[in-house]
Structures are given as C-alpha cells and as structure tokens.
Structure 1
Amino acid sequence: MSDLPEKYDTDVTVEKAGTDASPEKDSVELETGRFHRLKVLGEKLGIETNGIERIAEDARTDRRLWHNGEVWLAANCVIPTFGIGILGPGLFGLGLGDSLLTIVFMNLFATIFASLLSTFGPKLGLRQMVGSRYSWGWYGVKLVAILNSIACIGWSAINTIAGGQILTTVANQSISNAVGIVIIALCTLVIGFAGYKYVHVYERYSWIPTAIAFFIMLGLTAKEFVNLPMTTGQTEAGDVLSFAGTIWGFAIGWTSLASDYNVYMPAEASPVRVAGWAYLGLNIPLILVEMLGAAVMTVTFANPEWEALYQSQELGGLVWASLSSVGGFGKFLMVVFMLSVIANNIINIYSLGLSMQVWGSWFHYIPRSIYAIVGTAIYIPIAIAGANNFAESLSDFMNVLGYWLAIYNVIYIEEFIIFKRCSYENYRAAETWNDRKSHTIGFAAFLAGCCGAAGAVLGMDQVWWIGPLAKPIGTYGGDIGFELSFAFAGIAYPPLRWLEAKILRNYGYNV
C-alpha cells in the first residue's frame, strides 16, 4: 500500500482484555497452541491476523478520511445494485417516475444510519459487532452477531447469483450459473482472506471500470427508455412502500459492519467528516445505479425481445439486451459487471469472520481468515440452489434484512443518544471493551427486539405472510414492516434499558 503511511499496517498493537477474568484467560490461551502457529504463519504470508481486538490509538495512522467513502463507493457500484433498481417496474409494477423518486428519497434517508455508525470506528477503535456490546449487552450481542453472520452469507449468495447469471449469458448458455458462482466466490475469498489493507486497495480501484461500463450502458439504452405511467390511489401506495422496503434493506445492510473498515483512522478524526465521506460514498452509486436499473427495466414493457431475454435469463438477459448492440464489446462489459460482484462480496466475507469471533471465546480462538473459507463453502451451494430466482430471492432477502436491522439500529442509536449522552468518551472503550461487567447482559435489547419483531409481523407484506396492518394498504397490501419494527423497538428500549441497568448495578456491574 504505497499511498498509506508506513506505519499503517493491520498487524499492529491491539489492546488485550480488560478487567474481566475470562477474557484475560482467553487472550493468554489465544497466544499458545495451534492457533498461535496459524497466526505466525499468517503474519509471514502478509495476511491480517488481527480480529476483534481493539486497535490502540497510537496504531491508527490512516489519516485519509476519504478512505471511508471509497469502500462504500466500490461496494455499491456493482451489478447487484442495478438489480435492486429493476425491481421497481419489474416486480412492484411502478412507473418510471415513482421508481426514481422512491430510489432517491429512500436512499438519502436509509444511508444516514450507516454513516452515523461508521463514526464509531475511529472513536472507539472497535469493530461493529464489538461496539454493539454497549447497547445489545455482553450476551445479547452474540445473537446479533449470529444474525449478522447469516446476513453476510445471504448477501454473498444473492450477489454471486447475479454474477453467475451474467456469465451464463456471456457464454450463450453453454455453461451453468454454478460456474460463474464458483469463480466469483473464489476470487472474493482470496481478497477477503488476506484482510483489511488488501480490501482497501482493491476497493480503491475496482469501481472505476464498473462505473465506465454503467455509463456506456446508459449511452446505449437512453433512447429506449419508456416513461411508464404511475398508478394511483391505494395500489400506488402499497407498491411504493414495498419497493421502499427493499431499498431500505439494501442500504441499511451496511450498518451492521459500518465501523469494520475505518478502525485504523485516528480517534481525533472529525465525526462529521467521517460520516460525510461515508454518506457520499454510499449515495452516489446507490442512487445512480439503481436509477439506471429502473430505467433500463422499463424497456422490457415496450420491446418484446428485451422482455423475452429478461424472462428467460433474468438479470443476465436484461444486461445483455442493453449491451448486445455493440456485439463482442458488450460481452466484455458483461464480464466487467460479473467481476464487479467481488467488490461487494469481499465486504461480507471479511466482516463474517469478525462477527463469528464475537459468538464466544472458542470462536475468538479461530483466526478471522479461516472463517472466510468456511463462509465461502457455505454460500456457494446456497447461491447455486437459488440461481434461477434472482428477483424474488433478492426482494425477500432485502425485506427480512430490513426488519431486523431497523431494530438493531434504533437500539444502537438510542444507547448513544440517551444513555451515553452523545459522547464517545462515555463508552470508555479502552478500559471496558472486553470487560463483561462494564456491559449490560442484553435483556433490555432482547425484549425490545421482540417488540420490534412484533411490529414487523404486523406490518410485513410477504408472499408467506401479510400483516394485519399491511393488508389495508394497496390492492395486495403494502410493506410497512421496517417502520413498525423501528418504532416498536425504539419505544420499548429506553425504559427496559434503565430497569436492566438499575438491577445490574446491585450486582457489581458498571453499566
């Protein structure tokens, strides 16, 4: 990494356990035996060996705060983002105008949360799941880490389906989706396995060819766009809410790993600048690429050839329809789009290991890089099994993801605003990050989460369930699950958290 300070390295000083006896014992045992030998081998190979340990302040030497934007720019300037956009007209029956408006306003709102949570990386020096201990509790965060691990696996599977479909189309159906899925997964594994600094180097440049390919697609297809009319009344309301829920799920998905990619930035870094770069890096690709997807999808309603390609080959067919006019060069651009998936997936595979290390002491023993291999082995067969249902799989996954992340975010943010009084110093991260008695147990967050889940059940609009509050909206219902889950959990958490803290203090907890 020639453009980073010489001291900027992932194998740097970390702060060991706090005052809790069990983590101290774990830290000692972690330095012995077979896992220590794996760590030494990783250091020799240039692989990041740090896991969920807190990064000491004198080791945070990455002062280029725009790095916090480039990661999100690259991770979202990808073909799966284009796939989100096509769902507006293609799955929810929206017109072009209401699709574009929903994309703009929903992304501008949803990305506020990831931008805010990203500021905790430099301030606390903690990965996202470890920092979540302060709100979700020492034990409660283990459930959150499990859910986040599942989300990382799901993201990876959905993304590789998109890439696999494109490669199959490029090869004129002569190879299966499975081949493309495996190729993308293995390329992702190499970078995610290597660690933090390699992820940043790759993300710094990977978005450039993809952005150029999207601009070429725009130039080739703009004359074909169709201004589909908006629907009206309840039907319009229901469709817009359901599409907004899908966009929310895609954008809010980054919050559960927001601080994983800036913990090497200095503690004195301006939170406004850190959040600003994240907000910019997220919204530029999310808004522009999703808008392009929605616009390209409208052509299928007026062009039978495009519609036939989309119906037979889904996302891959639609992309080829937009690029087929330039022949072989179009197929080259499709390969670029296929490889763009790697920029998104390495974020998930890298953070997967950090989430799994939070599950418990024994999981912390295992090096982060090993989890990258395990995760890849899990999501490849899942992606192959769902390879022929990209649009429906994407929509269902985004909505469910949006429900639980709404709960996660409102609890995290209320802890910061109400109980930490908007002060990063009140976390006392250096002393408390690995001290069990400096965190709540997690009962308050768990019970508030159950309230949020009840809200999601009441408001969700899925094929397998339409909540009673969603049914009156639109012809077939309208999804308000994430709004209700956010509200229910947000109302329940403060009194539950206050009560839990009052009880725990009687038992020697410093919460």
Structure 2
Amino acid sequence: MEKQSTGSVNVDGSEPSPSGLESQTSDAMKPTTGGVFARLNKSITSIRFLEARGIERVPESERHNLAAADYVQMALLWFSTNITANNIAVGMLGPLDYGLSFVDSALCATFGALLGAAGAAYMGTWGPVSGNRTMVIARYFMGYYPSKICALLNIVIMLGYGMIDCLVGGQILSAVAGGSMSVVVGTIIVAIITWIVVIFGMSIFHAYERWAWLPQIIALFVLVGSAGPKFDTNIASVGDTRDIAGNRLSFFSLCLSSAVAWAPAGADYYVYYPPTTKKWITFTMSFLGIGLALVFANLLGVGLGSGTYINADWAAANDVSSGALVVQGYNGLGGFGKFLSVLISLGLIANNIPGTYSATLGFQTLGRYGLALPRWFWTCVGVIIYTACALGGRNHLYEIFENFLALMGYWVTIFLVIVLEEHMIFRWGKIAPAFDWSMWADRSKLPLGLAAFTAFVVGWVGSVLCMYQIYYVGPIAKLASPEGADLGIWVGCSWAMLVFPPLRWLELKKFGR
C-alpha cells in the first residue's frame, strides 16, 4: 500500500517516502484494507512530496547526514509553532482570570513556559536515536499496552489544541472583518489550510515551519509598539496572601501545561535525523525554539490583559473575544493593522500543523486496526473532529483554555517523570536491558509496564485529589487557600516519582524486562 523506499531521505522526510514495517513487525499490524479504498490509497500516496510513512520506524539506512542548517531547523520549527495567538491568549489569563498583577503574571508565564519547554525538548532527543515516534517510544517506558493510554490522551491534547487554534484564528478573522465574516467561517479557513499541509506530511511541514515565524514576529513586534504604551504594569494582584499564592501557583501550572503538552509529540519531527545527532544540541535548539516563542507570546498576552483595566475599548473588545482584543491592540494603524491581524490569525496554522500531524500518528499507535488505515485518512478524521468541536465551543474559549490545558498537564508531567526515572535510574546504570529500537512492535521484547501503569494511576489519583477546576475541586486543593489552588501537577508528579522506582525494580527482578 505504501511507496517503496529507494534510498536515504532528508531529515524532513522528503524524497522518497519510506514504506512498510521492519522485518520484526508482525503481519497482523500491516495495512490489510483492499478494494476501492486500497486503490484510492495507492493513488493518494503516489502524490509527489506526500509522506506515506506512518508510525513505522525509520531505519538508519534511510536517514540523511546532518548539516548545520538542520540543527537551526529544530529551533525554527518550534519557534514558528509557538509564536502564535493562542499562546498570547494563555498569557491574558494571568491578569484577567487569576487576578494577578503584571509582574506576578509575567514571572509565572516566563518560568512556567521555560520549565515546560525543557520537558518537551527532552522528549525530542529520543527521535534521532530511535527513529520512532514519541508514542511508540512510550512503549519502551510504559509498556506496550499501558502506552496506549498515553496515545489516547495525546490524541485528546493535539485535537484539543487544534480546536483552540481554529477558534482563536476564526475570532481574529471575524474581528478584522468587523463582524461581516462569522467566527464559523474563519474557523473553517484555518482548519482547511492546516489539513492541506498535514496531508502531505513531513517535507511540506518542515518547509512551512521554516518560514512561518517571519511574518509572525514582524506582526507581533508591531503589536508591541502599537499596544505596549497602553499596558498597565501597575495593576496589583487581587485577594489576600493565601489567595494570591494559590493563583500564582495555578497560573504558573497552566503556563507549564501549555508548554509541556508538546512533550508527547517531541520526537515525532526528528525521526529522519540520524542517530549521530548530538542529544545536547537537539535539547538546546528545541528548548530555545519553544521557550523563546512561548515567553514572548505569553508576555504579550499578559500586557494585553493588563491593558483592559485602563482602556475601555480594550475591555469591550475582550468581552467579544480574545481575538478581538488582539485586533484592538492594532487600533490606530488602519488597514495596515487589519493586515497584520490577518497574518496573526493565519499564523495559528503553524501551531495547528504539528499537533494535527501527531494526532494522526496517535490513532495508528492505538492498535493494528488504527495502523490498517493510512496517515492521510486519520488526518481527515482529526481535522473534522476538532473543527466541529471548535464550532460548538466558540463562545467558551477561556473556559476551554483554563480547564483543558491544566487537565492535560497532569498526565504529561506524570509520564515525563516515569520516562526520566526509567532513563536515569534503570537504563543509564544498565540495570535494565538496553533499548532495541527495532523491536518497537514486538510485545515480547518490550517492558510489561506493570510498574509504569501503577505509578501512572497513583499519580493520577494524586492529581485528582489536588486539582482545582470549575468542574471539580479536590479536597487537598481546598486546603491550600480559600479560593483553592491547582496542585494537581505537583502532587501527581511527586507520588509517581516515589512509587515508580521500587515497583520497577521488582518488575525487573521478576520478569527481566
């Protein structure tokens, strides 16, 4: 069903698209669909520059030698992905939703984004060394079956971000049009362009992200010059000492969640890099790309949110939508400001593309039935799902942000703790067998995952007991402050961190894998 490989490929997966599974992959996992669909799939995957590969491992013989530009591409990819309006909207929540001062919001946004970026960058280092997608790599840490839970949750994250990206983009386009274009139409425009790029896969994706940051950074610098003088840097945090402390922690956790949500996809975009790729450079370039983009975007959002306290027109725009507030920041620039607003709205496509791409891979990691359908098919399914959700939730963006991001941060950080401890304690010291990345589909060669699954569940219990969301407040969270504080990430991580090492030691002693 897939195109046959004829040699090495570039790090972006271009020419030619590799095919098939490795020799160790069971026949049951190979695509088996036939008839009309098989002919359609053959026609689609024969399109030039379209990536036919799904979650199959990229053998070392099919990867390309590195040039200095390929390392720079790592940073540019992540910078383009995150220097976007949805991350501006995250920053707005500090002064608008948590009642924090400009300084408190800025500090929480900065350090939360950097800590989350470190987690995503760490997971990215596994791409070149393994040649496997992130949720396939999870099998080596979580076990074959427990890793499917992570894959399913990752699909929720990536499609959730797709919903947010389409919605914010639609809001901005509607605001630029002065209401003559509905949010629905704007949302669909963003979704369609994303779909086109993701259908083609890695080669077009890398090319798009290589340049997508440039118009965004120009538009945002103009926004800083236009709106910056109207920021209110003197607003104070609201509430007593315990309330403020709780809100600081909650907003810090939210910004961390926004950044670390990329961790379950971090390795997906590096599988065509050779295993000789230096890990520390991969980490550094990924960290800089994610961290710098998020800090800049979040701080701009904090400034816009603070300006609503002293600018009545900004407050009125914010009542319409966060996208309208961004457009209002260009007030006074006339048609040029509207043009820049359109650039910012279309910039959300750069954020939406990698998330949609990783979601399609997530569908395939769920099992042989998911793998039996090609990546382009799951792209269509994913885009339809999050577009429909965006249209249905278009009047509740802030609630989606606050609840969705925090909830996703819980499981990602627990997953990261398990990966780090397995790597640092058991693999680094060679207590466990070395990784054999070619056995990615062989359940008998992968960990059972009993320890990881137990630690994951224990961590989730801790998160639930300490979470503070609109739909549920954990009993421990209520004790933190009268208004509550979101301790879910921190307690969940710490519980998993304590439980996993002894359980993993017992698992290795009993089963040897």
TM over 0.5: yes
**1:16 and 2:40 matched:** no
Change (3 A) 1:62 1:252: farther
Q: What's the offset of the Cα at 1:56?
A: 0.9
Q: What does residue range 256-295 of structure 1 map to in structure 2 within 5 Å?
A: 256-295=264-303
Aligned position for 1:508: none
Q: What does residue range 209-358 of structure 1 map to in structure 2 within 5 Å?
A: 209-227=215-233, 228-231=235-238, 233-311=241-319, 313-358=320-365
| Secondary structure of 1:325's aligned partner | coil
**1:194 and 2:197 matched:** no
What is the rounded CA distance, in whole Å, between the counterparts of 1:494 and 1:292 in structure 2?
A: 41
What is the rounded CA distance, in whole Å, between the counterparts of 2:474 and 2:300 in structure 1?
A: 32
Q: What's the offset of the Cα at 1:17?
A: 4.1
Letter in 1 for 2:477: A
Q: What's the offset of the Cα at 1:14?
A: 6.0
1:457 to 457, 464, 469: 464
What is the rounded CA distance, in whole Å, between the counterparts of 2:327 and 2:157 in structure 1?
A: 29
Change (3 A) 1:88 1:207: same
**1:393 and 2:400 matched:** yes
Q: What's the offset of the Cα at 1:262?
A: 0.7
Q: What's the offset of the Cα at 1:6?
A: 10
Change (3 A) 1:439 1:200: same
Q: What's the offset of the Cα at 1:203?
A: 0.4
Aligned position for 1:379: 386
Aligned position for 1:96: 102
Change (3 A) 1:378 1:282: same
Which moves more between the two structures, 338-347 or 457-466? 457-466
Which moves more between the two structures, 433-442 or 266-275? 433-442
What is the rounded CA distance, in whole Å, between the counterparts of 1:188 and 1:146 in structure 2?
A: 21
Q: What's the offset of the Cα at 1:99?
A: 0.8
Aligned position for 1:112: 118
Q: What does residue range 460-479 of structure 1 map to in structure 2 within 5 Å?
A: 460-479=467-486
**1:57 and 2:60 matched:** yes
Letter in 1 for 2:52: T
What is the rounded CA distance, in whole Å, between the counterparts of 1:11 and 1:99 in structure 2?
A: 47
Aligned position for 1:487: 494
Give the superposed CA RMSD: 2.2
Q: What's the offset of the Cα at 1:30?
A: 4.8
Q: What is the total number of aligned residue pairs between the two structures?
A: 499
**1:151 and 2:165 matched:** no
TM-score, normalisation: structure 2: 0.92
| Secondary structure of 1:469's aligned partner | helix
What is the rounded CA distance, in whole Å, between the counterparts of 1:122 and 1:431 in structure 2?
A: 13
**1:26 and 2:31 matched:** no
What is the rounded CA distance, in whole Å, between the counterparts of 1:213 and 1:382 in structure 2?
A: 28
Structure 1 contact 18–435 (Cα < 8 Å) conserved = no
What is the rounded CA distance, in whole Å, between the counterparts of 1:298 and 1:229 in structure 2?
A: 10
Which moves more between the two structures, 195-204 or 38-47? 38-47
Please list the CA deviations of residues 80-123 of structure 1 after superposition, one character each: whole Å capped at 9, or x if unmatched. 01011101001100000111111121122221111111110000
What is the rounded CA distance, in whole Å, between the counterparts of 1:465 and 1:133 in structure 2?
A: 31
Aligned position for 1:177: 183
Structure 1 contact 18–433 (Cα < 8 Å) conserved = no
Q: What's the offset of the Cα at 1:362?
A: 1.7
Please list the CA deviations of residues 446-474 of structure 1 after superposition, one character each: whole Å capped at 9, or x if unmatched. 22111111111121111122222222323
| Secondary structure of 2:181's aligned partner | coil
What is the rounded CA distance, in whole Å, between the counterparts of 2:59 and 2:375 in structure 1?
A: 19
Please list the CA deviations of residues 45-81 of structure 1 after superposition, one character each: whole Å capped at 9, or x if unmatched. 1210001111111222152122221111111011001
The percent identity for this pair of structures is: 33
What is the rounded CA distance, in whole Å, between the counterparts of 1:109 and 1:150 in structure 2?
A: 22
Q: Which runs of 4+ in 1 moved over 6 A?
A: 31-35
| Secondary structure of 1:416's aligned partner | helix
What is the rounded CA distance, in whole Å, between the counterparts of 1:254 and 1:7 in structure 2?
A: 19
Letter in 2 for 1:24: S
What is the rounded CA distance, in whole Å, between the counterparts of 1:196 and 1:223 in structure 2?
A: 41
Please list the CA deviations of residues 284-333 of structure 1 after superposition, one character each: whole Å capped at 9, or x if unmatched. 1100111011012111101112111111x121221122112111111111
Please list the CA deviations of residues 13-63 of structure 1 after superposition, one character each: whole Å capped at 9, or x if unmatched. 5683465xxx42135655976666455323421210001111111222152
2:410 to 403, 417, 420: 403
Letter in 1 for 2:73: H
Structure 2 contact 326–341 (Cα < 8 Å) conserved = yes
Structure 1 contact 13–56 (Cα < 8 Å) conserved = no
| Secondary structure of 1:55's aligned partner | coil
Aligned position for 1:127: 133
Structure 1 contact 100–291 (Cα < 8 Å) conserved = yes
What is the rounded CA distance, in whole Å, between the counterparts of 2:397 and 2:55 in structure 1?
A: 34
Letter in 2 for 1:41: S
In structure 2, the gaps of 5 or more residues are 1-8
What is the rounded CA distance, in whole Å, between the counterparts of 2:65 and 2:51 in structure 1?
A: 16
| Secondary structure of 1:462's aligned partner | coil
What is the rounded CA distance, in whole Å, between the counterparts of 1:264 and 1:25 in structure 2?
A: 24
What is the rounded CA distance, in whole Å, between the counterparts of 1:5 and 1:143 in structure 2?
A: 32
Change (3 A) 1:6 1:103: closer
In structure 1, the gaps of 5 or more residues are 506-510
Structure 2 contact 246–481 (Cα < 8 Å) conserved = yes
What is the rounded CA distance, in whole Å, between the counterparts of 1:396 and 1:149 in structure 2?
A: 17
What is the rounded CA distance, in whole Å, between the counterparts of 1:426 and 1:60 in structure 2?
A: 26
Aligned position for 1:504: 511
Aligned position for 2:6: none
Structure 1 contact 226–299 (Cα < 8 Å) conserved = yes
Aligned position for 1:44: 46
1:361 to 368, 389, 395: 368
Structure 1 contact 185–380 (Cα < 8 Å) conserved = yes
What is the rounded CA distance, in whole Å, between the counterparts of 1:447 and 1:468 in structure 2?
A: 22
Change (3 A) 1:8 1:476: closer
| Secondary structure of 1:324's aligned partner | coil
Q: What's the offset of the Cα at 1:191?
A: 0.3
Aligned position for 1:433: 440
Letter in 2 for 1:289: A
Letter in 2 for 1:115: A
Change (3 A) 1:427 1:331: farther
